[in-house]
C-alpha cells in the first residue's frame, strides 16, 4: 500500500494532516489560558481589575499583545503600599508617644487573642 500523501487544495499550503492545524491552535490557546490565569492572579494581587485583564488576554490573536501590555503597565505603575495591621498601627502610636508602654502591652495582648 503506498504512503498516503496529503494534497493541498488550490491556494493552500500543505504542512501535514488537517488535524495538525487544529492541534497547534488548541495548544496555543491552552498556553494563552495559562498566561491569562497568571495575569489574573497577579492583577488581583495588584488590585488592577483582574477579570477584565483575564478576558482581554484570552482574546484570540490579540491576547499575547495585551499580555505584553499588562507587563509594561505593571512595571511602570507605582507599587502598592502593604496594608497596615492593627498591631502595626499600635506600634506607630507607641513610637509617636500617643500611648504608654502599659497601654501598648494591654492593647497588643487583646489584639493577639
Residues shown for the chain: 113
- What are 81's three cell numbers? 503600599
Banded pLDDT at 13 (limits 50, 70, 90):
low
Contact (CB, 8 A) for 43 and 80: no
**Cell 495559562 found at:** 34
- What are 56's three cell numbers? 482581554
Interacting residues of 87 by C-beta distance below 8 A, sequence separation 6+: 108, 111, 112
17-33 mean pLDDT = 84
Taking 70 as the threshold, does the pLDDT of residue 9 lie above it?
A: no
Write the pLDDT tens digit of every residue in 76-111. Answer: 887 667 778 888 888 999 999 999 999 999 999 988
Write the pLDDT tens digit of every residue in 48-79. Answer: 899 999 999 998 888 889 999 999 998 888 76
Q: How far apart are CA 87 and CA 94, in angstroms?
A: 10
Amino acid at each position: 500500500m503506498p504512503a498516503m500523501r496529503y494534497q493541498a487544495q488550490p491556494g493552500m499550503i500543505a504542512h501535514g494532516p488537517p488535524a495538525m492545524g487544529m492541534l497547534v491552535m488548541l495548544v496555543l490557546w491552552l498556553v494563552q489560558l495559562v498566561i491569562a490565569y497568571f495575569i489574573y492572579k497577579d492583577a488581583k494581587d495588584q488590585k488592577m481589575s483582574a477579570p477584565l485583564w483575564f478576558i482581554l488576554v484570552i482574546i484570540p490573536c490579540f491576547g499575547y499583545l495585551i499580555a505584553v501590555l499588562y507587563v509594561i503597565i505593571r512595571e511602570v505603575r507605582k507599587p502598592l503600599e502593604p496594608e497596615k495591621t492593627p498591631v502595626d498601627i499600635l506600634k506607630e502610636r507607641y513610637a509617636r508617644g500617643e500611648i504608654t508602654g502599659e497601654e501598648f502591652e494591654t492593647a497588643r495582648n487583646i489584639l493577639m487573642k
